[in-house]
C-alpha cells in the first residue's frame, strides 16, 4: 500500500515550475506555502489525462489552506479568511 507523503498539519510549498499544457495547479498559488488540511485520496493525474494518457500512477490529492494575505498580499477583513485548494502531491514539497 502506498502512503501519502504529507499528513494534515504539514506545511507544504507549491512548486513554481512552468506547466506544460493543461494544469490543475492555480498560477497564483505557485511559490506559496500552506498547510495540509486533508488527504483527499489517490486519483489519476489530470495533467496526463488531458494529453490522452492513462494518468498513472495515481497521485495523492491534498486539500491545502493558505493564509489570505500570503496569497493576495493584503490583510483580510476577517483573520479567519483563507484560500483553500485541492493540489496534487507532485506539485508540493516540504516546507520548514
Q: What's the pLDDT score for residue 8?
A: 98
What are the strands, taking DSSP E only, across 1-96? 11-14, 33-43, 59-67, 82-88, 92-94
With b for 16 or more beta-carbon neighbours within 10 A and e for fewer, the 45-76 pattern comes to bebbeeeeeebeeebbbbbbebbbeebeeeee
User: Hey, where are the domains in the chain?
Assistant: 11-94
pTM score of the predicted model: 0.89
What phi and psi values does residue 49 have, to the nearest 5 degrees? Answer: -60, -35
> Could you count the other beta carbons within 10 Å of the beta carbon of residue 16?
10
What is the tens place of the pLDDT at every residue in 22-58?
778 899 999 999 999 999 999 988 888 888 888 889 9
**The pLDDT of residue 46:** 83
- Beta strands at 11-14 and 33-43: parallel, antiparallel or unpaired: antiparallel
pLDDT at 74: 78
11-94 to CATH, choices 3.50.50.60, 2.30.30.50, 3.30.479.10, 3.40.50.150: 2.30.30.50
For 85, the grid coordinates are 485548494
Amino acid at each position: 500500500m502506498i502512503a501519502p507523503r504529507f499528513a494534515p498539519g504539514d506545511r507544504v510549498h507549491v512548486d513554481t515550475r512552468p506547466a506544460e499544457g493543461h494544469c490543475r495547479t492555480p498560477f497564483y498559488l505557485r511559490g506559496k506555502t500552506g498547510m495540509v488540511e486533508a488527504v483527499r485520496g489517490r486519483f489519476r493525474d489530470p495533467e496526463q489525462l488531458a494529453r490522452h494518457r492513462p494518468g498513472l500512477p495515481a497521485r495523492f490529492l491534498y486539500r491545502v489552506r493558505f493564509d489570505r494575505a500570503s496569497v493576495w498580499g493584503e490583510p483580510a477583513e476577517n483573520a479567519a479568511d483563507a484560500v483553500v485548494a485541492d493540489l496534487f502531491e507532485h506539485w508540493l514539497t516540504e516546507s520548514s
